[in-house]
Each structure stands twice: as C-alpha cells, then as structure tokens.
Amino acid sequence: MRLPLIQLPAVQNVVAGNTAVLNLPVGGRGYDVVQLTLTNITAAQLTNIRCKLDGKEFQFYASATALQDINDFYGRPADANVYQLFFARPEMNDRALQRVTSIRTGD
C-alpha cells in the first residue's frame, strides 16, 4: 500500500546563492519519497542537497543531476523536471524491507 500524496509546505529562502529549506511536518505520518519540481532552474543549478533529521545530515547529493543518476541506477521512476528524494527503497522485493529506510514521524 502506497502512502497518500500530500502537498508539502513551500520551500523557503529560494534565492540564487542561498540555502533553500523545506521543513516537513511531523506527527502521524511518514515519508517514503519527497518530490521536487524544478521551474526556472536546471538540475545542475540545484546543488548541495542535504537531508537532515533532527539537525543531523543523513543524505547528501552534490546536485539534482547526481540525485537523478542514483535514481536511474536503481531503476526508480523519473519525470522531466521532477526530482525525487527516495527514503524508502522501492527496488527491494519485500514491502517491509522497502520501508526500513523511510522516515516515520509518529506512527
């Protein structure tokens, strides 16, 4: 069973040269995938993607291009200008194993 899609808050501080921030709501839900849709920016321009949990970095991508290279390696779905941060591992054969690495925030 796939988790329902939810609209996340807007990314904050989106200005060239700044650090943009997306804060994910906690409590009662989890995150298997976060999709980033790029407009007016190329994948190469989106750099230093860091995922932090409680202030600690747990994923890093040098650029959206590098992120897509990893997703391509694992055969994960791709759409033009949409980049996905996979926390779950859909390439695993067992549903329980797929969700071992997903982010749980209250369930």
Q: Is residue 42 left, alpha or beta, with left meaning phi > 0 and alpha meaning psi from -120 to 50?
A: beta
- Percentage of residues of the chain with pLDDT beyond 90: 8
26: confidence class by pLDDT, cuts 50, 70, 90: confident
Q: How confident is the model at residue 53 (pLDDT cuts 50, 70, 90)?
A: confident
* Angle, CA 33 vertex, CA 15 and CA 106 arms, to 5°: 105
pLDDT at 100 over 60: yes
pLDDT confidence of residue 107: 53
Reported pTM: 0.77
**Res 3: pLDDT:** 59
